[in-house]
């Protein structure tokens, strides 16, 4: 006896209409041909593309959701043995609708507000995460972030949750260059929301941060030079606890990389003045997302924003600027002297080592200028001048020594030629006799 096999016996949410029916002889089933072809294609894809460890167990999920499986098979979760049931519950070993029984923990659609807690059910488990060396405090960090506060306290469904940054089924390791949270890709991931004018309008947040970052010295280092050590959004704002640094925290955040600069700045009059007026420290001069490579012109362009050009503060800046310019000129001139000396065949390795010491002092001078102390600046420039003078004196000494040697050689040749002449005359006289 033939009987009609209804699609919805295993497809609770499928609405099959139309199609071609075919009788499968031997089993006496009448099924729709389009359903049969779809099932055949799905099983074929499972056979060829699903890892054996995943396919060897009965899994009713992949019969219908093969498109999700295509993504999931590349994820870090599948590689670590995580399957559908860990997030969606149910019983994938059952091939009918009872597999999706809520009593078996089945979750048809996971609401956005529930995502952080769901992810934390594994990622906050110390025992579970220890073998992978992963932290287990991400949820705690997220709850104190701007995103987390908006979600949990204000019930805002537009904020980013785990899946907005990491993906849903195709979740890759953060060390995978294809990952959305890879260091080189993270700014673009953040920009998916933060460059969306419609989405950011309600929060009164600008949407040009990504463009500014691309132009910055940090963005150039990351995108053009491939320097993964360059700070991205997460390095300054935090990862799961993402929040904009407050006025009092900016120098601490920048100081994570620019430690010496922060220490020098804390000794400057700017520190107390900015604290008194509630001004942001580093960003007042260097901006925030569009941080350009520092240039000597900053003394003229930036200082005058706060200081009158006739003020003693502006004049101090001009003196510091002059010292830095002279230090650069001194090193350039010294490099030229060494180059000229080498072209004449003089061995200059010791002098090159002295020059490198001078360059090191110049590098140290740049953060030291944040003290706004002329004495500190001159301490470095005097070392540069001293090294340059030593190199010049050494080159002059070697050149003087070479001149003496040349004169000695000339004198020796004159004596030799004179002796040869005397011998020649003597031989001629003897020959004449």
For residue 69, what pLDDT band results from cuts at 50, 70 and 90? confident
Residue 324, pLDDT above cutoff 90: yes
What is residue 12's DSSP assignment? T
Range in 131-140, 171-180, 239-248 the model is least confident about: 239-248
124 and 99 part of one domain = no
103 and 121 part of one domain = no
More confident residue, 225 or 12: 225
Residue 231 falls inside a structural domain: no
Give the separation between CA 380 and CA 365, rounded to whole angstroms.
6
- pLDDT for 196: 97
- pLDDT for 41: 53
Residue 176, pLDDT above cutoff 90: yes
Residue 217 falls inside a structural domain: no
At residue 350, φ and ψ (nearest 5 deg) are -65, -40
Give the separation between CA 122 and CA 129, rounded to whole angstroms.
8
406 and 321 part of one domain = yes
- pLDDT for 39: 53
Range in 44-48, 106-110, 160-164, 214-218 the model is least confident about: 44-48
What is residue 258's DSSP assignment? -
Residue 5 falls inside a structural domain: yes
Final residue of a structural domain among 58, 76, 109: 109
Percent of the chain with pLDDT over 90: 68
422 and 335 part of one domain = yes
Q: For 406-430, what is the mean pLDDT? A: 92
Residue 118 falls inside a structural domain: yes
Final residue of a structural domain among 109, 129, 157: 109
Strand partners, 1: none
Residue 213 falls inside a structural domain: no
Residue 1 falls inside a structural domain: yes
- pLDDT for 13: 40
Percent of the chain with pLDDT over 70: 86
- pLDDT for 407: 93
Give the separation between CA 260 and CA 266, rounded to whole angstroms.
10
Residue 19, pLDDT above cutoff 60: no
Residue 42, pLDDT above cutoff 70: no
Residue 44 falls inside a structural domain: yes
262 within 8 A of 254, measured Cβ to Cβ:
yes
Question: Which domain range does residue 159 map to?
Answer: 110-205
364 and 390 part of one domain = yes
pLDDT digits (tens, 9 = 90+) for 125-153: 999 999 999 999 999 999 999 999 999 99
- pLDDT for 306: 92
Give the separation between CA 140 and CA 126, rounded to whole angstroms.
14
Q: In the block, which residue shows the tokens 């110049």? A: 362
21 and 77 part of one domain = yes
Residue 57: which of 87, 41, 35, 81 has the closest Cα? 81
Please work out, in degrees rounded to the nearest 5, the angle formed at the alpha carbon of residue 304 by the alpha carbons of 287 and 295: 55
Tell me the pairing of strands 29-32 and 21-24. Answer: antiparallel
- pLDDT for 94: 86
167 and 58 part of one domain = no
Final residue of a structural domain among 139, 172, 205: 205
169 and 88 part of one domain = no
Rg of the chain in Å (alpha carbons)? 38
359 and 419 part of one domain = yes
What is residue 294's DSSP assignment? P
- pLDDT for 109: 86
Q: What's the mean pLDDT when you consider all of the chain?
A: 87
- pLDDT for 7: 45
Residue 255 falls inside a structural domain: no
End-to-end CA gap in the chain = 149
The number of folded domains in the chain is 3
Query: What is the Cα 373 distance to its own chain's centre?
Result: 33
Give the separation between CA 355 and CA 338, rounded to whole angstroms.
9
317 and 330 part of one domain = yes
- pLDDT for 46: 47
Give the separation between CA 415 and CA 132, rounded to whole angstroms.
85
88 and 141 part of one domain = no
pLDDT digits (tens, 9 = 90+) for 199-226: 999 999 999 999 999 999 999 999 999 9
Residue 326, pLDDT above cutoff 90: yes
Residue 27, pLDDT above cutoff 50: no
56 and 114 part of one domain = no
For residue 18, what pLDDT band results from cuts at 50, 70 and 90? very low
For residue 44, what pLDDT band results from cuts at 50, 70 and 90? low
């Amino acid at each position: 006896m033939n009987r009609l096999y209804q699609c919805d016996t295993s497809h609770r949410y499928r609405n099959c209409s139309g199609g071609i029916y075919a009788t499968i002889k031997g089993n006496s089933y009448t099924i729709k041909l389009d359903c049969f072809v779809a099932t055949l294609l799905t099983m074929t894809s499972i056979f060829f593309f699903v890892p054996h460890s995943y396919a060897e167990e009965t899994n009713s999920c992949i019969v219908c959701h093969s498109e999700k499986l295509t993504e999931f098979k590349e994820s870090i979760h599948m590689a670590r043995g995580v399957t559908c049931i860990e997030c969606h519950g149910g019983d994938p070993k059952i091939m009918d609708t009872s597999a999706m029984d809520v009593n078996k923990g089945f979750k048809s659609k996971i609401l956005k507000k529930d995502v952080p807690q769901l992810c934390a059910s594994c990622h906050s488990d110390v025992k579970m995460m220890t073998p992978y060396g992963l932290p287990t405090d991400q949820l705690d960090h997220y709850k104190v972030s701007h995103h987390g506060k908006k979600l949990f306290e204000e019930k805002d469904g537009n904020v980013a949750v785990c899946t907005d940054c990491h993906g849903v089924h195709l979740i890759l390791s953060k060390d995978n260059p294809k990952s959305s949270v890879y260091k080189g890709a993270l700014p673009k991931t953040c920009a998916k929301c933060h460059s969306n004018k419609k989405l950011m309008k309600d929060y009164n947040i600008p949407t040009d941060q990504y463009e500014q970052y691309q132009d910055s010295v940090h963005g150039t280092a990351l995108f053009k030079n491939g320097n993964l050590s360059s700070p991205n959004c997460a390095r300054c704002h935090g990862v799961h606890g993402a929040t904009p640094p407050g006025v009092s925290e900016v120098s601490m955040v920048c100081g994570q990389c620019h430690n010496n600069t922060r220490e020098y700045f804390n000794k400057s009059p700017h520190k107390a003045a900015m604290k008194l007026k509630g001004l942001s420290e580093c960003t007042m001069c260097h901006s925030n997302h569009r941080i350009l490579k520092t240039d000597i012109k900053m003394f003229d362009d930036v200082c005058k924003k706060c200081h009158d050009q006739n003020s003693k503060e502006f004049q101090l800046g001009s003196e510091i600027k002059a010292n830095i310019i002279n230090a650069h000129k001194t090193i350039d001139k010294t490099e030229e002297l060494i180059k000229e000396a080498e072209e004449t065949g003089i061995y200059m390795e010791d002098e090159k080592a002295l020059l490198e010491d001078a360059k090191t002092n110049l590098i140290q001078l740049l953060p030291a200028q944040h003290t706004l102390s002329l004495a500190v600046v001159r301490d470095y420039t005097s070392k540069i001048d001293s090294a340059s003078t030593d190199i010049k004196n050494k080159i002059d000494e070697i050149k003087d020594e070479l001149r003496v040697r040349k004169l000695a050689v000339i004198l020796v040749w004159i004596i030799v030629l004179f002796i040869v002449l005397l011998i020649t005359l003597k031989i001629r006289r003897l020959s004449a006799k």
